[in-house]
Amino acid sequence: MSAPRCRRLEGKVAVVTASTAGIGLGIVRRLAQEGARVVVSSRKAATVEETVAALRREGLEVAGTACHVGDKAALQRLIQFTLDTYGKIDILVSNAAVNPAAGPILSMEDSAIQKIVDINIVSAVLLAKLAVPHMPSGGSIVFVSSYTAFNPSPPIAMYAVSKTALLGLTKALAEELGPQQGIRVNCLAPGIVPTKFASALVASLELEELNKSRTLLGRLGTPGDMAAAVAFLASEDAAYITGEALVVAGGMQSRL
């Protein structure tokens, strides 16, 4: 996808978690291309440094810091780093997620269930809780969910259930933050994007073709497709949209 010509996010500051690869990296690149100053984060400091350096070579305004979203102190440091570096937060994108195990929910190890809940749900709540006091009216929060949130099914049903929770979190926070603070809260529900995280879904040519056939456009998604949707939701073009989940899945069945 070529660089966008629009600059809808000039003067804005964005924070994106899990953003050194895949969908997260695509989101950082798009937001920065549209004029935002963006904070990159992921667990490994070296990876963050490499990503920041690469994006700066593209002429983009980014900074970065390591952050393990399962550690509340690390989340606090991420928010403080953003404030120290850019002075404010206009856009928050909660993208971090894990799927440590597959199979029936009731057969899954307790530790795997707890990890899914902690990283995919609890960290999103805590991140918003820490960021919102520093966000102005007109700010935007985007939670990254999944098309599977609308129909959790094996073998990743527990992961999908955690993404269903983000749909509810989006609705709840939109109602809490909109009337009094003017902050919009929305949710991106990606379809299949063949990143490292989703590599099992394209592990063979046959499986990849099967998943392509489930779309109406005959192809799988790209990080750029997801990033374009996030940039829209974060921009003034979506000024009258809050509490919504935008499915970007090439027409894959998710809901009526």
- Tell me if residue 159 is catalytic: yes
Q: How far apart are CA 177 and CA 45, in angstroms?
A: 33
| Mean local confidence (pLDDT), 228-234 | 98
Q: How far apart are CA 55 and CA 25, in angstroms?
A: 10
Domain boundaries, the chain: 13-193+226-247
Residue 255's pLDDT band (cuts 50, 70, 90): confident
- pLDDT tens column, 154-209: 999 999 999 999 999 999 999 999 999 999 999 999 999 987 766 566 667 777 78
CATH class, 13-193+226-247 region? alpha beta
- pLDDT tens column, 32-56: 999 999 999 999 999 999 999 999 9
Asked whether the predicted pLDDT for residue 214 surpasses 90, the reply is no
Q: What's the pLDDT score for residue 209?
A: 85
